[in-house]
Amino acid sequence: MYGVCYGACTQGIDGKLVRVEIDISNGLPAFAIVGLPDSAVRESTERVRAALKNGSYEFPMRRITVNLAPADIRKEGASFDLAIAAGILITSGQWSASVAEGSLLLGELSLRGDVRPIHGVLSMAMAAKEAGLKRIVVPVENAREAALVDGIEIVAVRHLSDVPAGKGLELPAANPVSSPASTSREQNIDFSDVVGQAQAKRALAVAAAGLHNVLFIGPPGSGKTMLMRRLAGILPPLEGEEALEVTKIHSAAGYAAHQGGLMRQRPLRAPHHTISTQGLIGGGAIPRPGEVSLAHRGVLFLDELPEFPRVALESLRQPLEDGTVTIARARSTFTFPARFMLAATMNPCPCGYDGYEDEYHSCTCSPARKLGYFSRLSGPLLDRIDIVLDIPRVTPEEAELWRQEGGTATHSLDTAALASYVLAGRQAQLERFLGTQIKYNSELSGSSLHRYCRLDQEANKLLVRAYKEMGLSARAHDRVLKVARTIADMEGSERIEGGHMNEALLYRSLDMRKRRWSLGEHEEAVSKF
């Protein structure tokens, strides 16, 4: 006796449809799975056997062979349990063949027949639609995620016995979508908690509006990490294809995207500095997305940047430039999206006080230690960072003013106000890039960069002079243009003016202690902000 069902697995972040072929023949009782299964798939023999018996079905005491085709692709995970069980029941005559006709069956089985949720359902549902299947049978916990794919029927089940009924349970209600300025992750943290640092808040707003890479340098306790932790609260929400793209990655990685359906909040990933290169970029025997892919369309926050392994940091160069990560293995090559905003912090030296000495603190690092510390960051990596800003310690006067006014001092902007500036800049980009593949100013390159970044005479003179005197590379030149374009968008200007270019150029200095951006020098920009 022979029967066929359809299951699926993930390869990278994409779904792969698998033909589950069942053969039940005479011979000594045996249950074998072939077709390059991994350990989780091979162990499904025991799960399926127990689920059928405990679900009041008969397990055939004959020779059962399950083939997962195509046989040259490695299969992993527990997503085939339901398809294998259904195939055995159909082949043995306990279920009608119509139960699985034109259907994709996904789910892990418990020993008593409950259908448990799995990873990567969104990718598998997309693959099923492309293959022309009409229906997907999924665990009820994955139903909201599968329903993101239009034009295909979703059957949500809790138990193996629910499958023959042909209709699913009512879909669970989706979690309320959070606004970009008020999310569960940022409910109790706000930019108003940060004393002073108006320049840093402006820099983060510029970075968020155009998704530019940003690095803060400052002594311990200056508020670098505190500022960066609040960055996600001012990012514009994910929309349309972006949201589907990010949800697909997180679903394939197993980060419970099904709980809230489509992701609307941009991800913020903050790995510890002990992370391996493989964990950061992605990889494994069967490659999985790393932190750079999980931060796609969001923020990758690296606190204490020089403490990360140098080889891991150097591996960021290609995804920062191309927006993708390609991992080659003997059998296949995987490409993961990785267009993220890099946000990083660091001290000026190992002790943290170089350039910030006062009566209480003094730098204890030798010149060799300082050089060794900063040399952990290569020139090509730093060249890919758009905004570098010095974060000095808050003065006693600023702190006292903040306390007197109950945290609402003049230089203390809250998350809602910053988010409104970011959305204004984002709206200008949406209108400009309508009908193109470009989404943010940070993605501009080549002819599009010069088409959309029109300079007035003063801005052009500043850029030419800076290119000569600051020794800018061609990449740095283009990145200055992109940041200036975002600043102009936030201020509602169609052309890049001298003030916009001046501010963008100040963000390119790596020795910010010698060129501090004082409020007086940029009073006009900050007052508008």
Task: With beta carbons less than 8 A apart as the criterion, state whether 129 and 151 touch.
Answer: yes
- Would you say residue 517 lies in a domain? no
Does residue 260 surpass a pLDDT of 70? no
Question: Which CATH number goes with the domain that contains 272?
Answer: 3.40.50.300
Which residue reads 């072939």 in tokens? 34
Q: Say if residue 210 is in the same domain as residue 146.
A: no
- Residue 90, judged by CB atoms within 10 A of its CB (0-12, 13-18, 19+), counts as buried
Q: Say if residue 113 is in the same domain as residue 199.
A: no
Of 381, 410, 437, which residue is a domain's last? 437
One DSSP character per residue, 312-367 reads HHHTTHHHHHHSEEEEE-SS-EEEEE---EEEEEE-SSSSS-TT---SS------H
Task: With beta carbons less than 8 A apart as the criterion, state whether 191 and 233 touch.
Answer: yes
Q: Say if residue 208 is in the same domain as residue 157.
A: no
**Rounded Cα gap, residues 300 and 18, in angstroms:** 34
The H-or-E segment that residue 218 falls in is none
Residues 6+ apart with CB under 8 A from 503: 484, 487, 522, 525
- Would you say residue 496 lies in a domain? no
Instruction: Calculate what percentage of the chain has a pLDDT beyond 90.
Output: 61
Q: How confident is the model at residue 512 (pLDDT cuts 50, 70, 90)?
A: very low
pLDDT (tens digit per residue) in 313-339: 999 999 999 999 998 887 778 899 999
Q: Say if residue 228 is in the same domain as residue 156.
A: no
Q: What is the pLDDT of residue 301?
A: 97
* Pair of tokens at residue 310: 């140098």
Radius of gyration of the chain (CA): 28
**Rounded Cα gap, residues 288 and 290, in angstroms:** 6
- CB atoms < 10 A from the CB of 108, how many? 21
Q: Say if residue 230 is in the same domain as residue 366.
A: yes
Angle between helices 121-130 and 240-253 (to 10 degrees): 120
Q: What is the pLDDT of residue 188?
A: 62
Domain count, the chain: 2
Residues 6+ apart with CB under 8 A from 3: 21, 22, 87, 88, 90, 91, 97
β 387-390/214-217 pair status: parallel
Q: Say if residue 205 is in the same domain as residue 161.
A: no
Question: Which CATH number goes with the domain that contains 62?
Answer: 3.30.230.10
- CB atoms < 10 A from the CB of 227, how many? 24
Query: Minimum mean pLDDT among 105-109, 281-285, 295-299: which range?
Result: 281-285
**Rounded Cα gap, residues 382 and 392, in angstroms:** 20
- Would you say residue 518 lies in a domain? no
Give the 3-state secondary structure percentages of the chain, helix then strand then coil, rounded to 5.
40, 20, 40
Q: How confident is the model at residue 470 (pLDDT cuts 50, 70, 90)?
A: confident
Q: Say if residue 150 is in the same domain as residue 206.
A: no
Q: Say if residue 255 is in the same domain as residue 146.
A: no
Q: Average pLDDT of 346-363?
A: 85
- CB atoms < 10 A from the CB of 413, how many? 22
Q: Say if residue 44 is in the same domain as residue 120.
A: yes
Does residue 413 surpass a pLDDT of 80? no
Q: How confident is the model at residue 481 (pLDDT cuts 50, 70, 90)?
A: very high
Give the global pTM: 0.86
Q: Where are the beta strands (DSSP E) in 357-489?
A: 387-390
Which residue reads 């391996």 in tokens? 276
Q: What is the pLDDT of residue 345?
A: 95
Of 165, 200, 221, which residue is a domain's last? 165
Q: Average pLDDT of 149-172?
A: 81
- Would you say residue 91 lies in a domain? yes
Q: What is the pLDDT of residue 254?
A: 83
Q: Say if residue 32 is in the same domain as residue 159.
A: yes
Domain residues for 354? 191-437
Q: Say if residue 155 is in the same domain as residue 233.
A: no
pLDDT (tens digit per residue) in 77-98: 899 999 999 999 999 999 999 9
Does residue 22 surpass a pLDDT of 80? yes
Q: What is the pLDDT of residue 405?
A: 63
Does residue 411 surpass a pLDDT of 70? no
Task: With beta carbons less than 8 A apart as the criterion, state whether 54 and 112 touch.
Answer: yes
Q: What is the pLDDT of residue 403?
A: 66
Q: What is the pLDDT of residue 72?
A: 87
**Rounded Cα gap, residues 164 and 362, in angstroms:** 75
Task: With beta carbons less than 8 A apart as the criterion, state whether 324 and 336 touch.
Answer: yes
- Would you say residue 513 lies in a domain? no
In angstroms, the first-to-last Cα distance of the chain is: 74
Does residue 15 surpass a pLDDT of 80? yes
Of 437, 471, 499, which residue is a domain's last? 437
- Would you say residue 500 lies in a domain? no
Does residue 412 surpass a pLDDT of 50? no
Q: What is the pLDDT of residue 259?
A: 55
Q: Say if residue 211 is in the same domain as residue 149.
A: no
The H-or-E segment that residue 104 falls in is strand 103-105
Local structure of 398: helix, strand or coil: helix
